[in-house]
């Protein structure tokens, strides 16, 4: 009986964490898309290359996103 409860608990934990990680990933993609779309005029005005946008500007959002999900 005790082993059965552990199996059910493990199943519920995996389902919960899987859903949580998937939701965080979807929200992260949405936040990045909105941020880039808001700043698109500035990027085009200054002729910012895509590599700089992806490697320098976008990773700066991740601390904000982590704080957002932490509260």
Q: What is the largest CA-CA distance in the chain?
A: 66
* pLDDT band (50, 70, 90) for residue 52: confident
pLDDT digits (tens, 9 = 90+) for 23-36: 988 988 888 888 88
Over 60: is that where the pLDDT of 1 sits? no
Whole-angstrom CA distances from 41 to 12, 14, 35, 61 are 45, 42, 11, 18
Q: What is the pLDDT of residue 19?
A: 94
For the chain, give the mean pLDDT. 83
**With the C-alpha atoms ordered 51, 49, 67, 71, is the resulting torsion angle positive or negative?**
negative
**Domain residue extents for the chain:** 2-70
pTM (predicted TM-score): 0.68
Over 80: is that where the pLDDT of 49 sits? yes
Q: Residue 68: in which H helix or E strand, if any?
A: helix 61-70
């Amino acid at each position: 009986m005790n082993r059965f409860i552990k199996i059910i608990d493990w199943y519920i934990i995996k389902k919960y964490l899987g859903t949580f990680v998937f939701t965080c990933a979807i929200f992260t993609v949405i936040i990045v898309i909105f941020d880039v779309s808001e700043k698109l005029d500035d990027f085009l005005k200054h002729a910012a290359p895509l590599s700089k946008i992806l490697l320098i500007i976008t990773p700066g959002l991740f601390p904000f996103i982590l704080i957002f999900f932490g509260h």
